[in-house]
């Protein structure tokens, strides 16, 4: 709601009324590869919004099977049981119609389909070409996320000039400049890989790895627990799992059944110390889904062979980006300059609640009645509603900010998933040799869609950056970690 209000230029109450009056209706060709995976992600993405949502299983050879329809109903209920997925013809007035497949019914506004690791999207009146390859799990997530993005433009009522309804989109996150389906290389086995961050982007990465049936070993690092507000912006996790207050790393470990996951419940700095004491393997590849400059800088201090950082942001939170970083530069310090003037999230939380900084530092410990001692009446009433919850989950909480916390970064699953697609696409490209040469920064605004000819830059190291000035020290650290194994 925060992201939508910013994008549409309206207050959140107006947007809520607008979205609650919206109806989105889904159809699909059940014969398409990975149609089940695409629909599950799409239904989950759309059910995170306060809209009415319906699905027609269809008729004839392309009809969706009953088992899949039941799974889609369960997916919707796990996210929002108060707004069930309606099965059958759309109720009420004319809906926004979306289709997964290359032969949409004539009343469909937008259709899309996975093509290999990429996607093809068409507005009404624009035919699909012949597909190059069967869709993959990466293509499925990208297709769902981009269809959800098209729906967002309509149901949020984005004003003219604040979005672009591109009638034809052909995009592959593995090879951004090539046609979808050109890149068909299966993903490699995960080796000495670390996922930093289990938030909106991190869960998107986990979802894609799961749907790609990736195997291997993965260390997952995050310090926070999964809570109810996360359900609306993360790619995995239900209300029931939020009620259990699972550590986010455990949530991902449970999802990645084919991967041997080492969950590390702590900060990136904690993980660095564990690497240097031999308690965690030194990663050679790092996948990043963090939300602060400081955490990204810590991620770089792992000094892995390759770091692939995904981000969301921009004026209203709809811009996605990939930053490829090397220990020799450009590194994440080159991409993200340190801000020495702004207050830390911990300092802002201290000022808002009165909780001592020493208590905030014990972020995993749930708040108790004892924490209310020493607070004034206003602070006590504010903190009391969060008793039993870990402190770390409150730092960017919209509840805590009363809807006005300027530090809160708006996010939406369909945006974070596109950032995650860029990260996983780059991992496939670099680890299989499809892409070599200079590192890249890839960026686009999901309101306008990917523009393959304009969205990629090649970066050089910043001369004054630590990756250049401390190159010998970094080389020594890497050799020490390599020797330790």
CATH homologous superfamily for the domain 2-171:
NAD(P)-binding Rossmann-like Domain (3.40.50.720)
Q: Which residues of the chain have pLDDT under 50?
A: 340-341, 398-399, 401-407
Q: Six-digit token pair at 240?
A: 């029931």
Tell me, what's the pLDDT at 403? 41
Alpha helices in 56-186 (DSSP H): 66-79, 137-155
Tens digits of residue pLDDT in 228-279? 989 999 999 999 999 999 999 999 999 999 999 999 999 999 999 999 999 9
pTM of the model: 0.88
Strand order in the sheet with 86-87: 86-87, 52-55, 23-28, 96-100, 110-115, 118-123, 168-171
Tell me, what's the pLDDT at 6? 86
Q: In whole angstroms, what is the distance from residue 79 CA to residue 228 CA?
A: 10
Contact 216, 151 (CB under 8 A): no
Q: Is the peptide bond before 330 cis (omega within 30 degrees of 0)?
A: yes
Tell me, what's the pLDDT at 482? 92
Contact 358, 391 (CB under 8 A): no
Tell me, what's the pLDDT at 453? 82
Helix/strand number for the chain, H first, E second: 17, 15
Tens digits of residue pLDDT in 377-389? 778 878 887 788 7
Tens digits of residue pLDDT in 406-416? 445 678 999 99
Tell me, what's the pLDDT at 404? 38
**The domains spanning 2-171 and 190-339+411-433+455-484 adopt the same CATH topology:** yes
Where are the domains positioned within the chain? 2-171, 190-339+411-433+455-484
Domain 190-339+411-433+455-484 is found in CATH 3.40.50.300: no
Tell me, what's the pLDDT at 330? 96
């Amino acid at each position: 709601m925060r992201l939508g209000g910013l994008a549409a230029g309206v207050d959140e109450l107006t947007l809520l009324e607008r979205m609650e009056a919206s109806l989105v209706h889904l159809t699909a060709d059940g014969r398409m590869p990975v149609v089940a995976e695409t629909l599950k992600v799409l239904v989950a993405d759309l059910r995170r919004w306060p809209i009415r949502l319906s699905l027609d299983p269809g008729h004839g050879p392309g009809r969706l099977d009953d088992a899949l329809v039941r799974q889609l109903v369960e997916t919707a209920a796990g996210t929002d049981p108060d707004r069930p997925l309606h099965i059958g013809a759309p109720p009420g007035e004319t809906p926004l119609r979306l289709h997964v497949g290359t032969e949409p019914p004539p009343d469909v506004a937008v259709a899309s389909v996975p093509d290999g690791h990429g996607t093809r999207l068409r507005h009404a009146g624009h035919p699909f070409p012949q597909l190059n390859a069967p869709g993959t799990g990466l293509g499925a997530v990208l297709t769902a996320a981009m269809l959800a993005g098209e729906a967002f433009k309509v149901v949020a009522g984005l004003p003219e000039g604040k979005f672009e309804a591109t009638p034809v989109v052909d995009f592959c996150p593995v090879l951004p400049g090539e046609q979808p389906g050109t890149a068909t290389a299966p993903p490699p086995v995960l080796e000495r890989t670390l996922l930093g961050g289990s938030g909106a982007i991190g869960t998107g990465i986990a979802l894609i790895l799961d749907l790609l049936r990736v195997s291997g070993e993965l260390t997952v690092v995050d310090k926070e627990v999964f809570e109810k507000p996360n359900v609306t912006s993360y790619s995995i996790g239900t209300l029931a799992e939020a009620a259990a207050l699972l550590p986010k790393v455990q949530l991902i470990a449970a999802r990645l059944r084919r991967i041997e996951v080492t969950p590390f419940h702590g900060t990136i700095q904690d993980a660095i110390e564990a690497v240097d004491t031999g308690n965690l393997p030194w990663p050679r590849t790092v996948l990043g889904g963090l939300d602060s400059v400081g955490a990204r800088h810590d991620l770089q201090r792992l000094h892995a062979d390759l770091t692939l950082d995904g981000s969301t942001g921009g004026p209203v939170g709809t811009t996605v980006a990939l930053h490829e970083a090397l220990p020799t530069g450009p590194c994440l310090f080159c991409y993200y300059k340190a801000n020495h003037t702004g207050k830390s999230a911990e300092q802002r939380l201290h000022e808002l609640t009165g909780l001592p900084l020493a208590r905030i530092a014990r972020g995993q410990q749930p708040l108790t009645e004892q924490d209310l001692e020493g607070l004034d009446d206003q602070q006590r009433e504010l903190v009391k509603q969060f008793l039993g919850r870990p402190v770390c989950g409150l730092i960017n909480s919209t509840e805590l900010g009363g809807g006005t916390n300027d530090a809160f970064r708006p996010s939406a699953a369909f945006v974070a998933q596109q950032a995650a697609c860029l990260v996983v696409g780059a991992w496939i490209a670099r680890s299989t040799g499809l892409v070599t040469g200079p590192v890249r920064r890839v960026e686009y605004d999901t309101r306008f869609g990917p523009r393959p000819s304009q969205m990629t830059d090649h970066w050089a190291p910043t001369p004054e950056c630590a990756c250049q000035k401390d190159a010998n020290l970094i080389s020594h650290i890497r050799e020490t970690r390599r020797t330790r194994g």
